[in-house]
Amino acid sequence: MDDLLFQPLTLPNGTVIKNRFFKSAMSETMGDRHQLPNRELIMLYNKWASEDIGVLVTGNVMIDSRYLGEPGNVALDSEKNLDVFKAWAQVGQKKGTPIWLQLNHPGKQMYRSIQEEPIAPSAIPISGSSASAFRIPREMTLVEIQETVTKFISAAQRAEEAGFSGVQLHAAHGYLINQFLSPADNHRKDTYGGSLDNRMRFLREIYQGIRRSVNPNFSIALKLNASDFKEEGFGFEDCQEVVKIMSDLGVDLIEISGGNYETPVFGSEYENGAGFLNYATALSKITNVPIVSTGGFRDKKQMEKAINDGVSMIGMARPFVLMPNLVTEIKQTKDFHLTTPRLTTGLSSLDKTLGPIIGVSYYEGQMKRLANGRPIKRRENAWPYLLTTVKLHGLAALRPRRQ
C-alpha cells in the first residue's frame, strides 16, 4: 500500500505522470501591471519543479485581460510578450515535470475596483455578504459567447506554443464556465440555457475547440465543482452527468472541488476531512478518466486510502507552500502528518469576517518568500499579511476570494 502514491499514472492522451501528487492551483497574485508573470512567479515554479511533484497546475490565468478576477492576475490573450510565458513553462523541463496553465474567465466574479462591466450568462447579481464588492453583470450576447470561446481556444494554443504541457479549464468556484453550468446563475432562454445539455454547450465548445487546435499529447484537464452548495445551483447529479459527457469527449483528467464566492467552503471541517474526497471517490466509479480529489489532505495514510479507493491523484495546494519538498517528506516518513498554522487578528468577530482572506493573504506572502529563496514563516498573527495585501492591492483585496 505504501507504493500507491508513487506509482506512475497514464493519462488518456498517453502522458505518463511519475507519481500521484497534484499541485492544485492557487492564486499567486504575481502578475505585473501588464498582467504578465513576474520574476517571482517564475522562480516560485522553478522551486516547485525541482521537487518530485507529479503535475504542477498554475494559478488561474485569465483568457481576456479586460476581465480579471482579482488584482495581480496574469492574462494570456495576446501573442505579445510570449517569451515570458516561455520562461515560465521552461522551468518544468529540467526534471520533466508537467506544468499545466489553468485558464479562466471570472464572469460576474470581478471586483468593482477592476473598472470593467462584468459579463455573465444572465444578469444575476452575486448575493450574500460579499455582494457589495461586485457590480451587477450584463447578460452576454451570442457574439460575446463565441468571442469568449475563441479566447479560451487561443489561450490554449498560446500555452502550447509557450511550452506548457497542458491546460486546465477552470469550471469550478463560481467563475464563468461554472456560471453557465449552474441553473441558479444561468437563466438563458437560448441554446446556452435551460437543460444541462444546453448549459454545457459553452464548456463543450471550449473543450472541443481546444482539442481540435492542439497536438494530441497536449493535456486538457477540467476543474469541476462536485456541488456549488447553493440552492437550485449546480449539484452532484449534474456533476456526474458532466463527468460522463466530458469523459466521452476525451478529457484527460478531472479535478473535483466545490463552492463559490457566495458559498465558500473553508475551515477546519474541510481541511481535516479531505475536502471533496467522498464525491471524487464516487465519480471515480463512473469514469475511466483520472479523478483528482483536492483539499484537506494532511495525512499519508489518508492519501493512500484515497488512491486505494479509486481516486487517481491527491490534489494539494497550501501544503506545497508550507513544505515545498512535501513529496520527499511523505516518501521518507511512514506516519507523515502535516499541520497548518491557524492565523488570527486577535478579534474573533474580525476573524469570522475575514477568515477566508486571512488564509489567502498568508499563503500569498509565503509564496513570495519561496520565490525569493527564503524560508516560510509559521506564525499566528494575521495582521502582517492582511496589511501587505492591502498595500499591494488595495482594500478591495480583503473581499473573499477562492484560490
Question: Over the stretch 210-242, which tens digit does the pLDDT of each residue have?
Answer: 999 999 999 999 999 999 988 889 999 999 999
Q: How many CB atoms lie under 10 A from the CB of residue 122?
A: 20
Question: Over the stretch 119-169, which tens digit does the pLDDT of each residue have?
Answer: 999 999 998 777 888 899 999 999 999 999 999 999 999 999 999 999 999
Question: Over the stretch 18-27, which tens digit does the pLDDT of each residue have?
Answer: 999 999 999 9
Q: How confident is the model at residue 349 (pLDDT cuts 50, 70, 90)?
A: confident
* pLDDT: which is higher, 133 or 199: 199
DSSP summary character for residue 110: -
Helices (H) and strands (E) in the chain, counts: 14, 14
**Residue-level pLDDT at 302:** 94
**Residue-level pLDDT at 398:** 62
Answer whether residue 346 is part of any domain: no
Sign of the Cα pseudo-torsion (194, 199, 202, 207, in order): negative
- Is residue 314 pLDDT above 70, yes or no? yes
Answer whether residue 356 is part of any domain: no
DSSP of 275-316, one letter per residue?
TTHHHHHHHHTS-SS-EEEES---BHHHHHHHHHTT--EEEE
Give me 135's grid cell.
457590480
To 10 degrees, the CA torsion angle through 38, 39, 42, 44?
A: -110
Cβ proximity of 168 and 101 under 8 Å: yes
Give me 73's grid cell.
492576475
Give me 291's grid cell.
479523478
Mean pLDDT on 283-294 = 97
Answer whether residue 102 is part of any domain: yes
Return the bridge partners of 10, or none: 16
2: three-class secondary structure by DSSP: coil
Answer whether residue 342 is part of any domain: no
Q: How confident is the model at residue 271 (pLDDT cuts 50, 70, 90)?
A: very low
Q: How many CB atoms lie under 10 A from the CB of residue 6?
A: 15
Mean pLDDT on 360-389 = 88
- Is residue 390 pLDDT above 80, yes or no? no
Size (the chain), residues: 403
DSSP of 156-203, one letter per residue?
HHHHHHHT-SEEEEEE-TTSHHHHHH-TTT----STTSSSHHHHTHHH
* Domain harbouring 218, CATH code: 3.20.20.70
Share of the chain above pLDDT 90, in %: 73
Q: How confident is the model at residue 384 (pLDDT cuts 50, 70, 90)?
A: confident
Q: What is the largest CA-CA distance in the chain?
A: 56
**Residue-level pLDDT at 396:** 57
Whose grid coordinates read 500569498? 364
Q: How far apart are CA 273 and CA 291, in angstroms?
A: 18
Answer whether residue 222 is part of any domain: yes
The boundaries of the domain holding residue 46 are: 4-335
**Residue-level pLDDT at 342:** 86
Mean pLDDT on 48-57 = 95
Give me 161's grid cell.
506554443
Mean pLDDT of the chain: 91
pTM of the full predicted structure?
Answer: 0.94
Answer whether residue 347 is part of any domain: no
**Residue-level pLDDT at 263:** 64
Answer whether residue 174 is part of any domain: yes
Mean pLDDT on 273-288 = 89
- Is residue 341 pLDDT above 80, yes or no? yes
Answer whether residue 391 is part of any domain: no
CA 203 to the chain's CA centroid: 16
Number of structural domains found in the chain: 1
Contact residues for 89 (Cβ-Cβ < 8 A; gap 6+):
99, 101, 159, 162, 163, 164, 165
